[in-house]
Amino acid sequence: MTHTATKPAFTALASKLSENSAAIGVIGLGYVGLPLAAACSRAGFSVVGFDIDQAKTDALNSGASYIDAVTSEELAEHVAGKRFEATSDFAQLSRCDVIVICVPTPLSKQREPDLSYVTRTADDIAARLKPGQLIVLESTTYPGTTLDVLKPALEAGGLKSGEDFWLGFSPEREDPGNMNFSTASIPKVVAGDGQQASQLVQAFYGAVVDEIIPVSTPSVAEAVKITENVFRAVNIALVNELKVIYDAMGIDVWEVIDAASSKPFGYMPFYPGPGLGGHCIPIDPFYLTWKSREFGLPTRFIELAGEINVAMPQYVIGRLQDELDRQQAVALSAARVLILGLAYKKNVSDVRESPSFALMELLEKRGTKVDFHDPHVSEVPVTREHADLTGRKSVKLAADSLAEYHVVLLATDHDAIDYRLVADNARLVVDTRNVFARHGLQGKHIVKA
């Protein structure tokens, strides 16, 4: 027997959201969940953050943040004001009026969606689900996940979406390191399972962010996120392929892109690199290619882009080997290499899916001695795919130590790196980001890849 979420229950939750008095639960306190929790607290809601990692919840409750987008000072204010607390006790979900799921959605080794975090979280919620709650998924996934996977899991206990509880999807749009946009200032795409759910999802996010973009169904919202990341993945693959072609022709692809960017219409600049990183762009397009097989439809364009981007670390190592042979007559097996930058993008500590890991592993398979320097990453954290590298520590940059390496490989162009020091003291520099040219640093020992 279900306990139908009557019109009074809907009205009560809508009233709590409009008064910012609803209790918000955020499951998964990583690069998406913690900034969202902070944004909800800033909006005046009381927030309970859930994570299975007790060390994380202990750190957060002491006011110590491990995410760049939320400073420890801000976090301490939320904790002191009793607007935020973290816990690993999922029994506390029963306290929440709104529950937002922000857990990882990685790929398997076969490049198929791994929804285990979502399904386990759904089971945790279903065991404690009560009438009148709003459940929202933010984890990026293929179109149909909210209604075909999450909804049945939540309904397994007898409560029904749209009758007893409400269900929605709103894709995360975090961009770590982007100082121009925060969780609250990025327009938020929102959708609900039915009219009441749509109204509640809009009311919730409308109280937290500056602008909401309602769409008709959760599947449309899921497709929006996939489309955004496919767009970036395909265009990055294009410039990566152009880099390889133009390099063979003796043409600098970065000079080409800069000149092409002067066109005020019909062109948008994308830049090559050593490979894709971050949780979204290297992963999300493969969710769509997997789902498309259900409909017997190929995704040749997307898969080709993935092949090009995945091949970039190998291309970079090939260029590095060529320059070692040409300039120093040293084999990779006898070389010492310093990688500059472990994070997947500049000015952040986020190492998820970083191409630097692929570069390190490719080199070490050839017998190369590899160190890394990253001003934002003091040591390699625990990762699912690169456990053998856990605990490696960032080395310091100094004139005498730089000269001991046969080559310095620039993978991530952090602003905090002293590029003049590197240019003046390194024997050979392989630059995958064009950062030395941007700083006006040139020489025969500085090459691009």
Question: Under a CB-based contact definition with an 8 Å cutoff, are residues 335 and 368 in contact?
Answer: yes
DSSP for residue 219: H
| Structural domain ending residue among the three candidates 310, 341, 361 | 310
Same domain, 206 and 230: no
Asked if residue 341 belongs to a domain, the reply is yes
Same domain, 182 and 208: yes
Same domain, 38 and 158: yes
Residue 290, amino acid: W
Same domain, 225 and 208: no
Same domain, 203 and 292: no
Same domain, 331 and 382: yes
Same domain, 196 and 260: no
With a cut of 90, say whether residue 125 has pLDDT above it.
yes
Whole-angstrom CA distances from 294 to 46, 144, 287, 291 are 42, 12, 12, 6
C-alpha 321/C-alpha 209 separation (Å) is: 49
Same domain, 182 and 233: no
Whole-angstrom CA distances from 248 to 14, 251, 252, 308, 449 are 61, 8, 10, 16, 11
Asked if residue 258 belongs to a domain, the reply is yes
| Structural domain ending residue among the three candidates 276, 310, 344 | 310
Q: What's the total number of domains in the chain?
A: 3
- Annotation says 280 is catalytic: yes
Per-residue pLDDT band at 119 (split at 50, 70, 90): very high
Query: Mean pLDDT across the stretch 291-295?
Result: 89
Asked if residue 184 belongs to a domain, the reply is yes
Q: What is the CATH number of the domain that holds 210?
A: 3.40.50.720
| Structural domain ending residue among the three candidates 286, 310, 334 | 310
Same domain, 341 and 323: yes
Looking at residue 212, its pLDDT comes to: 98
C-alpha 245/C-alpha 247 separation (Å) is: 5
Q: Which of 40, 96, 102, 280 is catalytic?
A: 280
**16: part of which helix (H) or strand (E)?**
helix 7-18
Same domain, 438 and 364: yes
Tens digit of pLDDT for each residue in 27-65?
999 999 999 999 999 999 999 999 999 999 999 999 999
| pLDDT-wise least confident of 126-135, 296-305, 330-339, 431-440 | 296-305
Asked if residue 62 belongs to a domain, the reply is yes
Mean pLDDT of the chain: 94
Looking at residue 1, its pLDDT comes to: 40
Class of residue 343 by CB neighbours under 10 A (exposed 0-12, middle 13-18, buried 19+): buried
| pLDDT-wise least confident of 153-162, 289-298, 412-421 | 289-298
Same domain, 72 and 211: yes
328: domain range?
A: 312-449
Asked if residue 409 belongs to a domain, the reply is yes
Same domain, 176 and 222: no
Looking at residue 279, its pLDDT comes to: 65
pTM of whole model > 0.85?
Answer: yes
Asked if residue 2 belongs to a domain, the reply is no
C-alpha 313/C-alpha 295 separation (Å) is: 33
C-alpha 411/C-alpha 433 separation (Å) is: 7
With a cut of 60, say whether residue 4 has pLDDT above it.
no
